[in-house]
């Protein structure tokens, strides 16, 4: 099978491969999946807490600062199950923020890839690296969702499994020209993480987040989420489906039918889940707007 390459970018991690000359891309890029998994595990276990110790106290100001610092210290060391889960959530959000920023940085140089590239025969070393590194993250995500299922519940577990399948499959030349397009979804993740941080700090530490700051992030969150996960999410998968049909790629003997059917199904399911999540965001925003309006009247 003859592959074509397009980005002109090199895989900087390929020199560390245990199988640099292998024609099997799963073997050749296995180290990137493993290194990515280990990197996110290290961030979670050893780096997230020091980062939080530096970052969170910046929000603790005024008369309540001493009390808030004591609460944070207690949250880190408490053996209470609820508090342990809360601390875990802070650490996980540090990892997810790092991951989304890395993903955004990696995909930006590849956004010019043509939609018309053949999804069966297009293979690029840099895209393969992106797929491998992302697969390593979702492997870590799956581990976290299984280990702390009580906290993250079924929908996050399914999301981790589905995302892992999509990017593991993309290490091989299956829709590699769409990898960057799928990862554009991560543009909304920084706003999701900031929104979680603001709401959690207000609830757990009684931190006073400026209303204008909270409102700006909330508006950007819903706008970007709607554009990249709803509008772009549905458009992207429909464009792919149209190309598979119109260009008759499905008739090629090398067409990965099973992988593509599962991938289409996963994307349809995740796009639907994103619609559900957006609906929840809108309801919360309306509720908060109502509370804000009633306070002004008072």
The 10s digit of each residue's pLDDT in 159-215 is 899 999 999 999 999 899 999 999 999 999 999 999 999 999 999 999 999 999 999
Q: What are phi and psi of 154, to 5 degrees?
A: -70, -40
Compute the Cα dihedral for 222, 223, 224, 226 and give only its sign: positive
Identify the pLDDT of residue 295: 52
**pLDDT tens-digit map of 30-73:** 999 999 999 999 999 999 999 999 999 999 998 999 999 999 99
Number of domain units in the chain:
1
**pLDDT tens-digit map of 257-292:** 999 999 999 999 989 989 998 998 888 877 766 655
Distance of CA 196 to the CA centre of its chain: 14
Domain that holds residue 32: 14-297
The span from the CA of 228 to the CA of 192, in Å, is: 13
Residue 7 forms part of a structural domain:
no
The span from the CA of 146 to the CA of 156, in Å, is: 10
Residue 153 forms part of a structural domain:
yes
Residue 6 forms part of a structural domain:
no
Residue 136 forms part of a structural domain:
yes
User: In degrees, to the nearest 5, what angle opens at C-alpha 15 toward C-alphas 9 and 20?
Assistant: 100
The span from the CA of 117 to the CA of 1, in Å, is: 15
Residue 2 forms part of a structural domain:
no
């Amino acid at each position: 099978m003859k592959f074509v390459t397009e980005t002109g970018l090199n895989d900087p991690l390929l020199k560390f491969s245990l199988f640099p000359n292998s024609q099997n891309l799963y073997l050749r890029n296995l180290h990137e999946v493993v290194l990515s998994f280990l990197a996110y595990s290290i961030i979670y276990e050893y780096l997230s807490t020091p980062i939080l110790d530096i970052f969170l106290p910046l929000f603790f100001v005024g008369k309540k600062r001493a009390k808030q610092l004591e609460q944070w210290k207690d949250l880190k060391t408490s053996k209470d199950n609820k508090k342990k889960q809360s601390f875990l959530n802070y650490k996980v959000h540090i990892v997810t923020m790092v991951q989304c920023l890395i993903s955004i940085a990696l995909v930006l140089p590849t956004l010019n890839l043509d939609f018309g590239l053949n999804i069966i025969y297009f293979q690029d070393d840099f895209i393969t690296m992106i797929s491998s590194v992302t697969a390593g993250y979702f492997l870590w995500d799956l581990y976290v969702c299984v280990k702390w299922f009580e906290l993250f519940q079924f929908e996050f577990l399914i999301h981790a499994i589905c995302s892992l399948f999509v990017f593991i499959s993309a290490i091989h030349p299956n829709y590699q020209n769409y990898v960057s397009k799928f990862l554009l979804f991560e543009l909304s993740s920084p706003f999701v993480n900031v929104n979680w941080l603001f709401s959690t700090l207000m609830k757990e530490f009684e931190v006073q987040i400026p209303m204008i700051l909270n409102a700006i992030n909330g508006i950007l969150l819903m706008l970007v989420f709607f554009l990249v996960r709803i509008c772009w999410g549905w458009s992207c998968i429909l464009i792919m489906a149209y190309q598979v049909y119109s260009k008759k790629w499905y008739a090629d003997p090398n067409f990965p039918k099973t992988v593509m059917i599962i991938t289409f199904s996963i994307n349809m399911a995740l796009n639907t889940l994103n619609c559900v999540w957006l609906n929840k965001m809108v309801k919360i925003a309306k509720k908060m707007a109502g509370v804000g309006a009633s306070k002004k009247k008072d």
